[in-house]
A and B are shown apart, each in its own frame.
Chain A
Amino acid sequence: MGAYLVRRFGLMLLTLFGISVIIFALLRIVPGNIVDILFDSAGMVDPAEKARIARDLGIDLPLPQQYVAWVSGIARGDLGFSYVSEKPALAEILPRIPITAKLAGLALTFSVLIGVPLGVISAVRQNSWIDYALRVLSLSGLSLPSFWLGLLILTAFVTWTDSMPIYSDRPESLWDTLLLYSVPAAAVGFRSSALVMRLTRSSMLEVLRQDYIRTARAKGASRQSVNYRHALRNALLPVVTVIGIEAAFLIGGLIVTETVFNIPGVARFLVEAIRARDYPIVQNLVMLIAVVVVLVNFIVDMLYAALDPRIKYSG
């Protein structure tokens, strides 16, 4: 187990190094840089002034030098300065992390709390009206783009309640937080919950046909015990994998949800930073997301062992 952990850790570092090179290179390949954009927004181009600003921002340096400066900065905890706000990148990024973390956490919770039970119900009541209804629901969850769903929800709120659940001020109490985040979390978690529901259903159906389930029934185990103690635990393995992957994919859904619900989180900030070619913000945010994804995958791998004792990690 120890050797496995060390190997996995080394692999994580290698992955992060690869990502850092790719994101650094990709950002420089995309046409236009912050200097172009600054001048573009002013509607004029003065080569001498552009060169001066490029020098001030350090983007006239050779690319390897820029890369080393960035990576060594991360090692020192210095993420550089945002080209747009001219504030430390860390000061711009840090306050946004809890916002997105809460939203993502709630969305993931929503998708699990809705997806798993409904998937189980759909499986144990296979081909009943409730199964058909849940399958239609899950299909719509997979088909509806989250930005459209978000706008529908907002429109419904404005029409029926004359209020609107968009972010305005930082919530002070836990209740305020839940109120503010639950609607966008539901909008973004709906798709994940549909996926989790369908996967739980198919996984449960497969497990319910196994011999040991028949044996358990033959031994007189109750329906509850068979479905939830014997079947569900074994059916959850692929579901956990998907939840892990979904956690990573969630960031994509959050970009539009944060925009539609006007939530000042990391995802929306990342898009704005890409538009402005704000390299320090984009590079560091993508690295942060990469670290989260790699860690989540690592945790999922560890969970396998907890869920299925047959899985052993050896050196």
Chain B
Amino acid sequence: MQRHTRLVFASTLLLAGIAAGAIAQAQEPKRGGVLRMYQRDNPPSASIHEGATFSVNAPFMSVYNNLVRYDTTKAEDTLDTVIPDLATKWSWSADNKALTFTLAPGVKWHDGKPFTSADVKCTMDLVQGKAQDRLRTNPRKSLYDNVLEVVPNGPLEVTFKLGRPQPSLLALLASGYSPMYPCHVSAAQMRTNPIGTGPFKLAEFKQNEIIRLVRNPDYFKPGRPYLDGIELPIITNRSTAMLAFIAGKLDLTFPTEVTQQVYKDLMAQVPNAVCHMGPVNVSTNLIVNRDKPPFDNADLRRAMALTLDRKAFNTIIAEGQAKIGTTMLPKPEGDWGMPEAMMQTIVGYGPDVAKNRAEARKLMEKNGYGPDKRLAVKISTRNIAAYRDPAVILIDHLKEIYIDGELDIVETGVWFGKVARKDYSVGLNLTGNSIDDPDQSFFENYSCNSQRNVTGYCNPELEKQFVAQSQETDIVKRRAMVWEIDRQLQEDVARPIILHNSSGTCWHPEVVGFRPARNSSYNRYRFENVWLNR
């Protein structure tokens, strides 16, 4: 019996060993192959610093490196998952007002010139608008307002001097939107013929046709990348793209392009496809121009916040798969989402929609509106389905409180300019966040002077709290401060968040090493650890 048990034990161990060996062999990365991922539209340029859409950083992020990046083996992109990239290590000064990076030696740009600390300074000067050369557009300039100076200390060390402590600076620098640019290449050239240090070089960028990237043989990380190249045919028709994926002409869909409905279709036709479905840190929100009468009246804005039935939005638009939350991405995916109990106490978030709407109607009646005197208003929105569909539901909800909305569909090319000029009364908008950090969201969308604060909301007292949370190094204290700010933003009806959208990315099982983050859609396109198991 004892002998038999030993035999079984030994056999089990042997089998386990063989299985482990087989798995290890299966997971041993293979060199070679070309990854094919479609590009959903023609990117306006290859210069990531000039873009504000992942139509730019998804195809071109692998041309560049950051100082630091997010660990793509982890589920989320947070401060805890920041790892070295061009910088091998970093340290904060005692007062947390200086961040020093040690740079990797022997790194070369794609044209063979050496990468040094001077390039880091050039990049930051360019982004901060301090350089002689100019970016054509500079959407993230305000994120680095706290960086007073970037000082090279020899070729392989550089220090960021800050006006105040800002732990999230590392998170901002790890974003896919923060690549390093070379001093010796103009901002104009970076749009069409970018030079980076990244694992892939741009081989071809044919407008409206294809983007081809080839392996950088001199990449500074040994053995990387595994792929010989990446091809991104530009396929603007989503149906065509999904059919091409089903037919096996593509290895990977464009990030977050798979809706719940498309996901069901794909699963029916390619059951072994691997899909990541979930929040993408893009919110659907109500924007109200608070400078435009009668919406300069706080009662009306509050009534509009009260009439929103978020559950209905979620059911109709996302088959219940979207997340209901406030400014910050809700938990568990989001690191800063406020507790459910706290959210339920905020205006318009209570579960009793009928009660909320009764309160809203009272506010409207107090201001002279009622069944016989309804308020007519144009509901402006961008002419794409992700905007139009919720706008139609919004109009329906506003009817409940004596507001008759008329859909005002605005062409994409005109939309952002229109809202930035505040040339609207009420609108339905989408807001994306490149990283899950309050600094990016608060300063960009709610600070008084931000060019992306499209509602005109300005609360100097709350802005002081933006700064206070930004410099708080104790994460628990900071989180409590963020929740309080977020609660205040909702109570002030700054930009009522309706939903945090959910969509996905799919790939064939041969693609190994690609893992989208649960809390951001902008940071995981370096592809240096991705390989094809063919």
- CA–CA, A87 to B45, complex, Å? 12
Please pick, from A37, A154, A272, the residue contacting B42 in the complex, using a CB distance under 8 A: A272
Instruction: Say yes or no: A261-B240 contact (C-beta < 8 A), given A44-B137, A158-B247.
Output: yes
Contact residues, A50-90 vs B (CB, 8 A): 52-53, 82, 84-87
- CA–CA, A38 to B188, complex, Å? 14
A262 at the interface (CB under 8 A from B): yes
Contact in complex: B243, A44 (CB < 8 Å): no
Contact in complex: A43, B52 (CB < 8 Å): yes
A292-307 interface mask toward B, CB cutoff 8 Å, 1 = contact, 0 = none? 0000000000000000
Q: From B248, which residue of chain A is reached at the shortest CB distance?
A: A162
- CA–CA, A299 to B451, complex, Å? 56
- CA–CA, A163 to B243, complex, Å? 9
Contact in complex: B53, A41 (CB < 8 Å): yes
Give every chain A residue within 8 A of B52 (Cβ-Cβ): 41-44
Instruction: Say yes or no: A269-B51 contact (C-beta < 8 A), given A39-B416, A41-B137, A261-B240.
Output: no
A150-167 interface mask toward B, CB cutoff 8 Å, 1 = contact, 0 = none? 010011011000111010
Give every chain B residue within 8 A of A154 (Cβ-Cβ): 239-240, 243
Contact residues, B65-120 vs A (CB, 8 A): none
Give the distance to chain B from A159, nearest Cβ to Cβ, in Å: 8
Contact in complex: B416, A43 (CB < 8 Å): yes
Give every chain A residue within 8 A of B188 (Cβ-Cβ): 86
Interface locus among B145-153, B202-210, B222-230, B495-503? B202-210
Interface locus among B320-328, B346-354, B371-379, B407-415? B407-415
Give every chain A residue within 8 A of B206 (Cβ-Cβ): 264
Contact in complex: B416, A259 (CB < 8 Å): no
B217 at the interface (CB under 8 A from A): no
Contact in complex: A151, B414 (CB < 8 Å): no
B417 at the interface (CB under 8 A from A): yes
Contact residues, B241-283 vs A (CB, 8 A): 243-244, 246-249
Please pick, from A32, A84, A259, A261, the residue contacting B417 in the complex, using a CB distance under 8 A: A32
Please pick, from A49, A84, A259, the residue contacting B207 in the complex, using a CB distance under 8 A: A84
B192 at the interface (CB under 8 A from A): yes
- CA–CA, A92 to B421, complex, Å? 34
- CA–CA, A277 to B412, complex, Å? 12
Contact in complex: A31, B42 (CB < 8 Å): no
Give every chain A residue within 8 A of B136 (Cβ-Cβ): 38, 49, 53
Interface size on B, residues (CB 8 A): 43
A238-255 interface mask toward B, CB cutoff 8 Å, 1 = contact, 0 = none? 000000000000000000
Contact in complex: B237, A260 (CB < 8 Å): yes
Give every chain B residue within 8 A of A13 (Cβ-Cβ): none
Give the distance to chain B from A49, nearest Cβ to Cβ, in Å: 7
Contact in complex: A164, B243 (CB < 8 Å): yes
Instruction: Say yes or no: A44-B207 contact (C-beta < 8 A), given A36-B414, A85-B192, A86-B191.
Output: no
Contact in complex: A45, B139 (CB < 8 Å): no
- CA–CA, A275 to B210, complex, Å? 19
Give the distance to chain B from A17, nearest Cβ to Cβ, in Å: 29
Q: From B421, which residue of chain A is reached at the shortest CB distance?
A: A45
- CA–CA, A45 to B421, complex, Å? 8
Contact in complex: B192, A264 (CB < 8 Å): no
- CA–CA, A163 to B249, complex, Å? 8
Give the distance to chain A from B430, nearest Cβ to Cβ, in Å: 11
Give every chain A residue within 8 A of B240 (Cβ-Cβ): 151, 154, 166, 259-262
Instruction: Say yes or no: A41-B244 contact (C-beta < 8 A), given A87-B192, A264-B208.
Output: no
Contact in complex: B139, A43 (CB < 8 Å): yes
Contact residues, A22-45 vs B (CB, 8 A): 31-32, 36-45
Give every chain B residue within 8 A of A172 (Cβ-Cβ): none
Instruction: Say yes or no: A46-B416 contact (C-beta < 8 A), given A259-B237, A262-B235.
Output: no
Please pick, from B50, B247, B248, B415, the residue contacting A40 in the complex, using a CB distance under 8 A: B415
A143 at the interface (CB under 8 A from B): no
A191 at the interface (CB under 8 A from B): no
6 pairs of A and B residues whose beta carbons are closest in the complex:
A40-B416, A42-B137, A264-B209, A44-B451, A164-B247, A42-B139
Chain A residues with a Cβ under 8 A of chain B: 31-32, 36-46, 49, 52-53, 82, 84-87, 92, 151, 154-155, 157-158, 162-164, 166, 168, 259-262, 264, 268-269, 272, 275-277
20 contacts between A and B (CB under 8 A): A38-B136, A41-B53, A42-B51, A42-B138, A44-B452, A45-B416, A53-B136, A86-B191, A92-B207, A162-B248, A163-B247, A259-B236, A259-B237, A259-B240, A260-B237, A262-B235, A264-B206, A264-B208, A272-B236, A276-B413
